[in-house]
């Protein structure tokens, strides 16, 4: 069933323009005065002035990846390439080399994550058997001027710190 709603006719006051214009001026003046005169927290402006102000990320935001270290500071990674295999975006590149310690066997000579390809799914973290890669920095990828800067090298990944552990 189709319900047809007849258009309302304009009343004389509405078609006389001037009263309605004054009403409209009242609305804009209200916004103007609230945003000009009230203290900042009471204003209607929702803008976050980005470089100076940043939005608070939620507690459970994981952020960018980092590589964890052993107690001597060397990477925990054993270059097994399980993260690279699990990665649906194929953004992880690992080159392996022999480790002096025979019980560890391998270590990465280079470990790169291409941030332009990464989809931040976290599957690499799930796949890692050594807890060597984590996404717990809470850091947002920073803007960059060169494309090469978008590929994160091992040193940079190792240098990041994890955010404080959330209480379970």
Partner 1 sequence: MDLFNLIAVLVKLAVMFGIALGLAALLTWFERKQSAVIQDRVGPNRANLGRFTFKGLLHIVADTVKLFIKEDFIPRDADRFLHTLAPMFALFAVVSTLAVIPFVSPVAILGREVSGVIAEVNLGILVVFALSSIGIYGAIIGGWASNNKYSLLGGMRAAAQMISYEVTMGAAVIGLIMVYGTLRLDQMAAAQGDIMWGFLPKWGIVTQPLAFVLFFTAAIAESKRTPFDLPEGESEIIGYFVEYSGMKFGMFYLGEFIAIVITSALVTSLFLGGYHIPYLMDDGFRFPLGVDILVHPWAVAALRFASFLGKLVFMCLLQLQLRWTLPRMRYDQVMRLGWKVLLPLSLANIFITGLWLGIK
Residues forming the site for partner 1 (CB under 8 A) = 18, 21, 24-25, 27-29, 31-32, 35-36, 43-47, 49
| Pairing mode, strands 106-114 and 66-67 | unpaired
Nearest distance, CB of residue 45 and partner 1, angstroms: 5
In angstroms, give the least distance from the CB of 7 to partner 1. 16
Element containing residue 134 per DSSP (H, E): strand 133-134
Nearer to partner 1, 29 or 119 (CB): 29
Q: Which two tokens stand for residue 14?
A: 């509405």
One-character DSSP codes across 64-117: S-EE-B-TTSSB------HHHHH-TT--EEEEEEE-SSTTT-EEEEEEEEETTT
Q: What distance in Å separates the CA atoms of residue 33 and residue 114, rounded to the nearest whole number?
A: 49
Q: In the bound complex, what is the minimum distance in angstroms from residue 27's beta carbon to partner 1?
A: 7
Tokens encoding 151: 């590929």
Nearer to partner 1, 12 or 129 (CB): 12
Which CB sits closer to partner 1, 30 or 90? 30
Q: Which residues of 152-162 are buried (b: 16+ CB within 10 A; e: fewer)?
A: bebebbbebee
Q: Which residue in the block uniquely carries the two structure tokens 């006389």? A: 16
Least distance to partner 1, CB of residue 82, Å: 47
Task: Please say which residue, 21 or 121, places its beta carbon nearer to partner 1.
Answer: 21
The rounded distance, in Å, linking the Cα atoms of 19 and 26 is 11
Q: Provide, rounded to whole angstroms, the least separation between the CB of residue 21 and partner 1.
A: 7
Nearest to partner 1 of 4, 36 (CB atom)? 36
């Amino acid at each position: 069933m189709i319900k047809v709603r007849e258009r309302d006719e304009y009343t004389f006051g509405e078609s006389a323009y001037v009263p309605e214009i004054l009403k409209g001026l009242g609305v804009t003046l209200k916004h103007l005065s609230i945003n000009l005169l009230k203290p900042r927290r009471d204003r209607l402006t929702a803008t976050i002035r980005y470089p100076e102000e940043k939005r608070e990320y939620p507690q459970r935001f994981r952020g960018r990846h980092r590589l964890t270290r052993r107690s001597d500071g060397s990477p925990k990674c054993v270059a097994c390439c399980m993260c690279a295999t699990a990665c649906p975006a194929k953004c992880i590149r690992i080159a392996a080399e022999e480790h002096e310690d025979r019980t560890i066997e391998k270590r990465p000579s280079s470990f790169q994550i291409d941030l332009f390809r990464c989809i931040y799914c976290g599957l690499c973290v799930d796949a890692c058997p050594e807890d060597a890669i984590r996404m717990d920095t809470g850091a947002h990828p920073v803007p960059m001027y060169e494309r090469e800067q978008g590929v994160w090298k091992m040193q940079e990944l190792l240098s990041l710190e994890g955010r404080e552990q959330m209480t379970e």
